[in-house]
Structure 1
Amino acid sequence: MNGIYYYKNMKRTFTLIVFFIILLITDSALAQKATWIYYPGDFDIWLGNKMQNRRTDRGAFLPVLWKMDSHYVLVEFHKDFDVPATEEVKLYVEGMYNVKVDGQAFVGYPKSITVPSGHHKVSLKVYCQDRVPAIFVQGKTIVSDDSWLVTFEDKEWIDATGKVSDKSGTTYLNAGAWNFNDPLSPPSKFSLPTVPQHAMSSDKKANSFFLDFGKETFGFVKLHGLKGKGKLHIYYGESKEEAQSVDHCETLDELMINESAKKDSVMELSKALRYVNVQFDSGVSVDSVSMLYEYAPLTQRGAFRCSDEEINKIYDISKYTLQLATREFFIDGIKRDRWIWSGDAYQSYAMNYYSFFDSPTVTRTILALRGKDPVTSHINTIMDYTFYWFLSINDYYQYTGDKTFIKQFYPRMQTLMDYCLSRRDKNGMMAGLPGDWLFIDWADGLSKQGELSFEQLLFCRSLETMAICAKLNNDNEGAAKYQALADELKAKIFKLYWNEQKHALVHSLIDDKQSDNVTRYTNMFAIFFNYFNEQQKQDVKKNVLLNNNIQKITTPYMRFYELEALCAMGEQGYVLKQMKDYWGGMLKLGATSFWEEYNPDKKGAEVYAMYGRPFGKSLCHAWGASPIYLLGKYYLGVKPLTAGYSTWVAEPNLGGLKWMEGTVPTPEGNIKMYCSNTHIKIKGENGTGTLRIKSKSKPSCKDASVISKGNHIYELIITKDKAYNITYTEL
């Protein structure tokens, strides 16, 4: 009997324990998760300032060339909540603050507050000068997230009776947030992670080390067992020649050592390097040298493999190049500038959509570039970089479908476009005023005089982007205005710049007359902007893009667009050879990441020279990674048709390859494809796709209807999460 009684009590106790565990789990699950929030765009600007002011030129601070804005130092946060039961709410704040519930302020700086049941408005007002004002609010139902409303001016005032004014004049936005989900790790403590990395070889002498880390890399040099008194120098090199050149290497560290006991020392600033030359006085000793590799923790979602091993290597090195140049933001190169340049970033966004598909790095970079009002110059002071900024927003929307971002920051688009419109000349075009840098490309002898057709083309596309974003914001008047301006400018471009004898758009107008010069830039952009009719496209392909008498492009920056234009014209076979010649040429010179510029005519150490400096060239430049984009968009042939891949198309083109396979990321899953000259396998995890293929005869697929579109082109509808196997004969 006692045993039975004991068994029943144990069973009852066990049941109660399980019940309470379930209750605790359920209670925990019901509690909402909080995150740090701030005024949208402010963390991006603050972090951009912090990162870009790390640049040094042989140890000397080298600041940016343009206006730097700051975050708002006083921000009001609030949200209304329906609280089912009294709850304790913890507060974590970056800065001085007050907190109110239903307009009633708490005394002092409370770390937690008690909020009774009912409908309540919780608000905090935060001041912080050196960091971004930010809050982390954690209760059961009262939590901080991006649904809170924020403003930098609440326009609140009190009359003689003590009545608080209404706030109808205040503009509120949804709070900014990223992934700061730990109350003890606020935005101001953000840093990229690091992992130890050791050299592939180390040549140690009495007073020096010379290390080779095997490939281009980035991080903090670490000195182990440092001891003694005297000077220590570290000379960094992307090439062996640069690290050996103590007088001309681009980056270095100089330290005064005064250590009586052995210690490890990590350099304050990260550097780009493959080789490291450490030299020290006889009174100093160092046991060994390593580094901490610094990286952005992003996942590679995109993939590509094919029958050509050289193309596979080019793809892999391109991914590594982009990975190195993706830091807190998309930067240009990891050695020299380490700044955020709009033209470089625009290409990184495109590569990102076919590799990481990381939206926060895109929007963070866009916002850091834009800064705050008032607008006093072009982005990076470069006219074409302002236009790339507009284009990047349109691309971001097409690939991600993120309307919220467009709606939040449309006012900043308007004020920047107002600045552009105010700087037009008497012909309604952008010719460049004092303070404007007209870049286009690094090219010897490229004229920047007069009204450049390239600038008008980008300006026209920017106006079209404004019309699209105006519609998304229900600004019908603005949409009509911007579209009318775009239509008018487009008509001018073809009336004033098209030359029937040259079968191309000329480079410039000087004193209202066409120049004789034809360059590739405007013409190739007009192809993938789809501004030309079919005859004009063919004329430009023959007379410009495939014409060796037209000045050649030597930077990967503009090769990106030149090869895109050719791919858009169906010249994948030609482009494949160009990739093997151009990027393969860098590989033959030992490149482990792709460069800022490559000219096959340069020999020996001169391949490293640029800007009048023997090692001025960046050997890891984001714009060198364009094969990622080309292979994803024009060989696998995958791109969105409507925003966020709600509908998409895949037009595979082998371009002479025997087979290829790859993965293209989308907002909600991946699109995977294998293609040979007889078979295609495809599966999409997002939206509805159209597979468009060229085949000598009608393709066969048991799971889908094959529709003939004429001229040996066939289409199949690809539904979400369904695999298709197609047999065809490559045309």
Structure 2
Amino acid sequence: MKRKSLFAITALMLLMTTGNAQLPPIFGPEYNQIAQKDELTRIFISPIRVLWISDSSRKLIKNSEVLLKPGNSQSDMSRTTRFCSMTTTLADTASILLDYGKELHGGLQLVMGGSSRREPSLVRIRFGESVGEANSNTYNSDWLMGFSTDDHAKRDIIMEIPRTGMIEVGNTGFRFVRIDLLQPGTTINLKEARAILRYRDIPYLGSFKSSNPRLDSIWITGAYTTHLNMQEYLWDGIKRDRLVWLGDFHPELKAINSVFGYNEVVPRSLDLACEQYPLPQWMNGMSSYSMWYLIIHHDWYMQNGDFDFLNSHREYIVGLIDLINGKIAEDGTETLSPFRFLDWPSTPNKEGVEAGYRALLAWALRDAEKLCRVLDENRSAQVAAGAARKLNRKIMPHNDLKQAAALMAVAGTLDPAIASKEVVAVDGAKRFSTFYGLYMLDALSLAGMQDEALQIISDYWGGMLDMGATTFWEDFNIEWMENSARIDELTPEEMNDIHGDFGDYCYPSFRHSLCHGWSSGVTAWLTENVLGITVVEPGCSTLQVKPYLGDLQWVEGSFPTPYGVVKVRHERQPDGEVCSEIDAPEEIKIIR
């Protein structure tokens, strides 16, 4: 189905309001092309608690509770104002650890109220996604257990702060901030130590509420995880890597479709990816991420029906299909790339990765054919279909890898019931992954095993919540929970630090990202499977509403479309039947 974009006027308005800044008249026209308005919003947030201070006597650190009050970003030297005072001796520093309650992206604003010296004072400021990270030391020459890193965002900063006035520091992902006064024999007065939250101020058009508050918390946490990563571009993580990775992109896209609907961060990021990795390069240097590029385009078009944007990528899509087809032999052997990447936890299982990689390619080619039909690129559609036929002449075994079996079920190369019962559902949430967990859940749904999927969601994503998460993580194994302290508490000596004592591959210890967009696919799954809302025709012109309540008594929520928000409520009746109320714009056809 082809139709002109519904977003032309909206896009023009966005360009006018978020493009060139309206500068004071003193700036001439020569600034028009070099000045840009910050399209993101800044909010100041006071800490919700002082988690720890170094001075148990409270003689060297006084009035720390002052920092919990609302602020106004104005320095003050009045004798009637109460400040948090921090004092060092010639031998000891003074330290304070602040908790802002939620994972944030941004920095720290310190508002001063004078000090015992005229000169600036030396401080150390450490940002942490966990208490352990905020207390950790940095090592940047290698990735080592027990250390944090600064190579994508500076989180451990030694700097001088002024005697009075205000100073801002930091641009990273964090929930906790530790401030150490290093200047010997000095007292500083802090009026405010507020976090700066930098984010897109956009409405949550999608929603999910049910008779199970745990599921509700999981849904909104996944939504917020992706929301924080919607910066100038769609990042993988707000602490690390702060890049547009096309694999991470897909679960984030699914969450965006379910929560926010159309947002220009998606087309902008896809445009950037094509600029950074022109053909014949693979996206992000990985052939599997070029496959995700095709799947992303398909899902974005189905949600928004934005033909103009799809058409703008016509040349890249067609060229990528030809590139892939040229590397698949008639017997199904393919030579796309020696580097076969699904996700990090699957890496040791090379046979399973091979099977999953080929299934991902089959899925991408299926979506590529559909895209070409929309674009009237009939030759390329035939090439994509032919490439898929060649590829599927050789189906590789999944080798008991959950990621592989899930992809094979989604791609249609393995019966979902077999994939789920023999592999994906075995041992429940064990051997799940934050990235490929979405496709494992999809496989279970295709097999009619929604109850098992819901239990895994509660155990796995809910397990992160149990450990103090306010956003979902780059990686997680439920085995990590045993004898581990939460991320929002000091770790006793006899317990594990769930952040610092685990992690692997490129994310050992405190390098591990605790706000990673690829973990948010669970939000989309709950919308699609529990609320039961799925897109049937491009642009949401036709939706299917087929809820699955499991043990729930009721569930209600909303779903964004180009025509407006669809609202649903499903409630189990005394006889066990589910009664549904659906409120949808008149332009949308609803299939029950």
What TM-score bracket applies, with the shorter chain setting the length? Answer: 0.7 to 0.9
The one of 168, 174, 181 aligned to 1:280: 181
1:201 to 37, 44, 49: 49
Match of 1:479 among 364, 381, 384: 381
Q: Is the 8 A contact 1:410 1:469 kept in 2?
A: no
Relative to structure 1, is the Cα distance of residues 459 and 686 closer, same or farther in structure 2, using a 3 angstrom cutoff? Answer: farther
Letter in 1 for 2:221: I
Taking the aligned partners of 2:353 and 2:208, their CA distance within structure 1 comes to: 41
The correspondence of residues 691-706 of structure 1 with structure 2, limited to 5 A, is 691-692=591-592
Greater Cα shift, 652-661 or 273-282: 273-282
Change (3 A) 1:429 1:198: farther
Q: Is 1:180–2:16 an aligned residue pair?
A: yes
SS in 2 for 1:598: coil
Relative to total residues, which structure has the larger strand share, 1 or 2?
1
Find the counterpart in structure 2 of residue 249 from structure 1.
148
Unaligned runs of 5+ in 2: 1-6, 23-31, 54-60, 62-85, 88-93, 139-146, 485-495, 574-578
- The answer to whether the Cα contact below 8 Å between 1:594 and 1:624 also exists between their aligned partners in 2 is yes
The residue type paired with residue 455 of structure 1 is Y
Aligned pairs for 1:499-518 within 5 A: 506-507=397-398, 517-518=399-400
Moved more, 235-244 or 325-334: 325-334
**What TM-score do the two structures reach when normalised by structure 1?**
0.63
Distance across 1 between alignment mates of 2:360 and 2:126: 41
Q: Which residue of 1 aligns with 2:524?
A: 629
User: Following TM superposition, by how much is the alpha carbon of 1:686 offset from its aligned partner in structure 2, in angstroms?
Assistant: 5.3
Distance apart, 1:530 and its partner CA = 4.1
Selected match of 1:339 from 216, 240, 243:
243
Distance in 1 between residues matched to 2:316 and 2:262, nearest whole Å:
23
Name the structure 2 match of 1:308: 212
Question: How far has the Cα of 1:468 moved from its partner?
Answer: 2.3
What is the rounded CA distance, in whole Å, between the counterparts of 1:597 and 1:450 in structure 2? 19
Work out the CA distance in 1 between the residues paired with 2:123 and 2:329. 56
Equivalences for 1:21-420 in 2 at 5 Å? 178-181=14-17, 184-185=21-22, 189-191=36-38, 192-202=40-50, 203=53, 204=61, 205-206=86-87, 207-225=94-112, 228-247=119-138, 248-250=147-149, 251-257=154-160, 259=162, 262-267=164-169, 269-282=170-183, 285-287=188-190, 288-371=192-275, 374-420=278-324
Distance change in 2, residues 1:262/1:404 (3 Å): same
1:680 is matched by which residue type in structure 2? S
The AA in structure 1 aligned to 2:565 is N
Question: 1:665 is paired with a residue of what secondary structure?
Answer: strand
Give runs of aligned pairs for residues 524-563 of structure 1, distance below 5 A: 524-532=406-414, 536-548=415-427, 552-563=430-441
Q: Check the 8 A contact 1:431/1:451 in 2, yes or no.
A: no
- Aligned positions of 1:655-694 closer than 5 A: 655-678=550-573, 679-685=579-585, 687-692=587-592
- When residues 429 and 286 of structure 1 are mapped into structure 2, their CA distance, relative to the original with a 3 A threshold, is farther
1:567 aligns to 2:468 (yes or no) = no
Q: Point out the more displaced range, 334-343 or 523-532.
A: 523-532
**2:29 counterpart residue number:** none
- The alignment's TM-score, normalised by the length of structure 2, stands at 0.77
User: How far 1:417 sits from its partner (Å)?
Assistant: 3.2
State the shift of 1:458 in Å: 1.9
Shift of the 224–641 alpha-carbon distance from structure 1 to 2, 3 Å rule, reads: same
1:676-700 superposed Cα distances (whole Å, 9 cap, x missing partner): 12321112115443443xxxxxxxx
- Shift of the 264–567 alpha-carbon distance from structure 1 to 2, 3 Å rule, reads same
- Alpha-carbon distance, 1:419 to partner: 3.5
- Give the Cα separation in 1 of the matches to 2:471 and 2:211: 22
Q: How far apart, in 2, do the equivalents of 1:353 and 1:579 lie?
A: 20
Following the alignment from structure 2 to structure 1, what is the Cα–Cα distance between the partners of residues 213 and 378? Answer: 52
The reply on whether 1:598 has 2:446 as its aligned counterpart is no
Give the equivalent residue in structure 1 for 2:539.
Answer: 644
User: CA 1:183–1:518 in structure 2 vs 1: closer, same or farther (change >3 Å)?
Assistant: closer
**Structure 1: distance between partners of 2:348 and 2:518:** 20
Please list the CA deviations of residues 398-435 of structure 1 after superposition, one character each: whole Å capped at 9, or x if unmatched. Answer: 111111111111101223333334444685544454xx
Equivalent residues of 1:237, 1:249 under 8 A apart: no
Higher relative contact order (CA 8 A, sep 6+): 2
CA change 1:347–1:594 in 2 (3 A) is same
The answer to whether 1:443 aligns with 2:336 is no
Contact conserved, 1:218 with 1:272, CA < 8 A, in 2? yes
Q: For residues 395 and 233 of structure 1, what CA distance do their matches in structure 2 show?
A: 46
Name the SS of the counterpart of 1:304 in structure 2. strand
Following TM superposition, by how much is the alpha carbon of 1:640 offset from its aligned partner in structure 2, in angstroms? 1.5
Deviations 1:585-605 (CA, angstroms, capped at 9, x unpaired):
112212222212221222434
In structure 2, which of residues 359, 366, 381 is the aligned counterpart of residue 464 of structure 1? 366
Shift of 1:286: 5.0
- The one-letter code of the counterpart of 2:107 is F
Q: Greater CA deviation, 272-281 or 222-231?
A: 222-231
Q: More deviation in 671-680 or 225-234?
A: 225-234
* Bigger mean CA offset, 521-530 vs 644-653: 521-530
**Distance between the aligned counterparts of 2:165 and 2:207, measured in 1?**
43
* 1:199 Cα offset (Å): 0.9
Matching residue's letter, 2:378: N
1:523 matched to 2:405? The reply is: yes
Q: How far does residue 519 in structure 1 lie from its aligned partner after superposition? A: 2.0
- Relative distance call for 1:176 and 1:553 in structure 2 (3 A) is farther
Change (3 A) 1:375 1:193: same
Amino acid at match of 1:590: G
Distance across 2 between alignment mates of 1:451 and 1:445: 7
1-side partners of 2:353 and 2:171: how far apart? 42
Q: 1:335 to 1:213 in 2, by over 3 A?
A: same
In structure 2, the residue corresponding to 1:557 is in which secondary structure? coil
Q: Structure 1: how far apart are the matches of 2:205 and 2:409?
A: 29
Change (3 A) 1:659 1:176: closer
Number of equivalences: 493
1:267-323 Cα offsets, whole Å, 9 max, x none, are 2x4111111111233266352422221011221000111111211222222222222
Structure 1 residues 300 and 686: CA distance shift in structure 2, 3 A: farther
AA aligned opposite 2:109: K
**SS where residue 279 of structure 1 aligns?**
strand
Moved more, 346-355 or 334-343: 334-343
Letter aligned with residue 305 of structure 1: K
For residues 504-556 of structure 1, give each alpha carbon's deviation from its aligned partner in whole angstroms, at most 9, with x where no partner exists.
xx13xxxxxxxxx2322233223333455xxx3333332222334x9953321
Q: 1:278 to 1:398 in 2, by over 3 A?
A: same
Aligned mates of 1:366, 1:593 — CA distance in 2: 24
* Identity rate, percent: 24
Q: Secondary structure at the match of 1:482?
A: helix
Which stretch has the larger CA shift, 235-244 or 536-545? 536-545
- Answer whether contact 1:343 1:385 (CA < 8 A) is retained: yes
Describe the SS at the equivalent of 1:462: helix
Aligned-residue offset at 1:671: 1.6
Shift of the 594–372 alpha-carbon distance from structure 1 to 2, 3 Å rule, reads: closer
Per mean C-alpha deviation after superposition, the further-off stretch among 248-257 and 471-480 is: 248-257
CA gap 1:423/1:531 in 2 versus in 1, 3 angstroms: closer
| CA spacing shift, 1:461–1:279, aligned 2, 3 Å | same
The aligned counterpart of 1:133 is: none
Amino acid at match of 2:218: I
